[in-house]
A and B are shown apart, each in its own frame.
Chain A
Amino acid sequence: MKITTIIVTAALGLSVSTAIAQDLSEDQQRALTARQAHMGLYGFYLTPLGQMAQDRIPYDAAIASAAASNLAAMAAIDQAAFWVDGTDSGTVEGSRARAEIWTDPDGYAQVQQGMADATAALALVAGDGIDALKGAFGPVGQSCGACHQNYRAPAN
């Protein structure tokens, strides 16, 4: 879990330094910070689920269930306020949100809904044993990839 904390911290740190370099408005900066923290929290809750699914730590129904419920709740919230104009990866150094999020809102909404559906399905069964967890975890990973394929810019 420590690693995830570092990632979240790094994401926040990056966005702060970006603000100085790019002279973002307060609204732009707050949106950038919030959405990068949101992505970091996805990683935070995915970690115990993924480690169980990959047999790296023992299965624990309570931990799995709580993490999956939180993940599903996060994936279901309305994200519209994240996408303030002028904060895409081509405009702001440190932003990895590709302009396609703004130019292809329907496509983006579709992949986001895909994650909401996959995490909701996982939350339903994550407490029912390791096999149920493994079965529902795969589609969650695919939903992450479906979004990152077209809507996330490379890290460097």
Chain B
Amino acid sequence: MARWPWIAGLAVLAIGAGWVATRPAPLPATALDGITPDAARGETVFAIAGCANCHAATDGPREVLSGGRAFASDFGTFHAPNISSDPVHGVGGWTDLELASAITRGVSPQGAHYYPAFPYTSYIKADLQDVADLIAHMRSLPASNSPSLPHDLRFPYNIRAGLGAWKALYLRDDWVADAPTPELERGRVLVEALGHCAECHTPRDALGGLDRSAWMTGAPNPSGEGRIPGITPTALDWSAQDIAAYLQSGFTPEFDSAGGSMAEVIHGTAALSDDDRLAIAAYLKALP
């Protein structure tokens, strides 16, 4: 009997150590020092990062990031929060550093973990200049006073502290693909970091982490409806020009047109330059 308190004590220590190892890690306080945000450049970042695809209301204008959309998953239903410039219901009252920590580290200003339905898991690879530009652009968009809705998740996924362990396993800032040319390097920023293409086009393991060994090979649709197609050269035999034309117009080489979530992604890629669309195509064509 006497050893039970010991075991309880060890358990408390283990949990404590685990908490320390997995507690939220925001950006360092000096991360944005020396960066001058450029809101005009941020408009391009906003387009490819696809913020409006989740945070604008389904029927609302894409500039109003009022939140409210529901996203089904294996873990429950996520509701995209209001990230408009409203100081009360949105993020207008946050500092640039708080926003950058949320976007690239998945940490709230109060020091809580965000769920990786928010693709900070990709944005962590973004250049902080791009992130600062994005934030400057977001501040210029309209405010919405719609209150954010809570997520509706099953136990144990509804315990945010558990996300620390998830992040320790899966939150990585290293690139997946090599980028030996400037075009491939630009493509990699657009695909792996800002465009977060892998979040849908790469399959996940049982805990929801991306399977890097099956990068961009396609995955079940988390909504349960159909499959997200593979976009490696093996899965998709389009030319680079075909891919760039699709990202600009939404039309496949057979002149079928993109549907579902991809129709929304095309809103963003249509706003890019031709060079950027070709860089995305070059990246995809260079995948194994």
Contact = CB atoms under 8 A, between A and B. Distances in A.
A145 interface: yes
Given A141-B250, A154-B225, A154-B227, A149 B263 contact: yes
B254 A148 contact: no
User: Interface SS of chain A: helix, strand, loop or mixed?
Assistant: helix
B249 interface: yes
Interface residues of A, number: 24
A156 B226 contact: yes
Interface string A37-73: 0000001001100100110000000000000000000
A154 B219 CA distance: 13
Interface string B238-265: 0000000100011100111111110110
Given A153-B226, A156-B226, A141 B259 contact: no
Nearest to B228: A154
Contact of A141 (B251, B254, B261, B264): B251
Given A138-B249, A141-B249, A154-B221, A149 B254 contact: no
B69 to A, nearest CB: 12
A53 B245 CA distance: 10
B273 to A, nearest CB: 16
Nearest to A155: B226
A46 B251 contact: yes
Interface residues of B, number: 20
A145 B255 contact: no
Contacts of A150: 58
Given A154-B221, A155-B226, A142 B256 contact: no
Interface string A133-154: 0000110011011101110111
A122 to B, nearest CB: 13
Interface of A: 3-4, 7, 43, 46-47, 50, 53-54, 137-138, 141-142, 144-146, 148-150, 152-156
29 contacts: A4-B255, A7-B254, A7-B256, A43-B255, A43-B256, A46-B251, A46-B255, A50-B251, A54-B245, A141-B250, A144-B250, A145-B250, A145-B258, A145-B259, A145-B263, A145-B266, A148-B257, A148-B258, A148-B259, A149-B259, A149-B263, A149-B264, A150-B58, A152-B259, A152-B260, A153-B225, A153-B226, A154-B226, A154-B227
Interface of B: 58, 221, 225-227, 245, 249-251, 254-261, 263-264, 266
